[in-house]
């Protein structure tokens, strides 16, 4: 059994982190997952990341130019018994990727497989990452998702016009 499960709020955030929050609110929310560090690339918009007790687990938070939270990416820990992510009631990191995608399809979610390593749920503004990992199949796809990317509603249909709703 997993010690902590983070709940994705499709289109709006993760647990207590909501798109549109300001930097101090996000820093406070991220602090429960580990130390909050600056991850901003030179010349880029503000980006924060966590570094927790398990260095393999982190959450990246990217901000819009106005300083509000815009996207989140959660990375799979080496020890998934410590922390997992739930999307539509399905465990992202402990469910094999093929089974996870089948369950989503069975729930009626449209999945975009244009990039087989990065399937998308466009209507939910969710991106999944099957690249890398220690346990790949014959096609080089990771058997488990390595990260989940969460954005505001409309991100994949029109990223430049997607807006946060706090």
Mean pLDDT for the chain? 89
* 48 close to 27: Cβ distance less than 8 angstroms: yes
| Burial of residue 21 (number of CB atoms within 10 Å: 0-12, 13-18, 19+) | buried
pLDDT recorded at residue 1 = 67
pLDDT in tens, 2-14: 788 999 999 999 9
pLDDT in tens, 16-54: 999 999 999 999 999 988 899 999 988 788 999 998 767
Instruction: Choose the weakest-confidence range: 49-63, 71-85, 88-102.
Output: 49-63
pTM, two decimals, is: 0.89
Question: For the chain, what is the total number of helices (H) and then of strands (E)?
Answer: 2, 12
Structure tokens at 139: 């096609």
pLDDT recorded at residue 134 = 72
Find how far residue 151's CA is from the centre of its chain.
Answer: 8
Residue 121 clears pLDDT 80, i.e. is over it? yes
pLDDT recorded at residue 165 = 43
* 143 close to 69: Cβ distance less than 8 angstroms: no
Burial pattern 156-165, b for ≥16 Cβ within 10 A else e, equals: beeeeebebe
């Amino acid at each position: 059994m997993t010690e902590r499960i983070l709940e994705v709020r499709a289109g709006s955030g993760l647990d207590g982190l909501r798109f549109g929050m300001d930097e101090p609110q996000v820093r406070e929310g991220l602090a429960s997952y580990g130390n909050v560090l600056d991850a901003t690339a030179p010349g880029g918009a503000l980006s924060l990341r966590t570094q927790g007790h398990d260095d393999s687990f982190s959450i990246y938070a990217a901000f819009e130019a106005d300083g509000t939270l815009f996207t989140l990416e959660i990375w799979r820990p080496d020890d998934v018994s410590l922390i997992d992510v739930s999307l539509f009631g399905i465990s992202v990191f402990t469910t094999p990727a093929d089974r996870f995608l089948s369950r989503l399809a069975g729930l009626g979610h449209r999945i975009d497989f244009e990039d087989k390593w990065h399937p998308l749920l466009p209507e939910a503004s969710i991106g999944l990452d099957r690249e890398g990992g220690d346990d790949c199949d014959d096609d080089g796809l990771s058997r488990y998702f390595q990260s989940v990317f969460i954005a505001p509603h409309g991100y994949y249909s029109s990223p430049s016009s997607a807006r946060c709703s706090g």
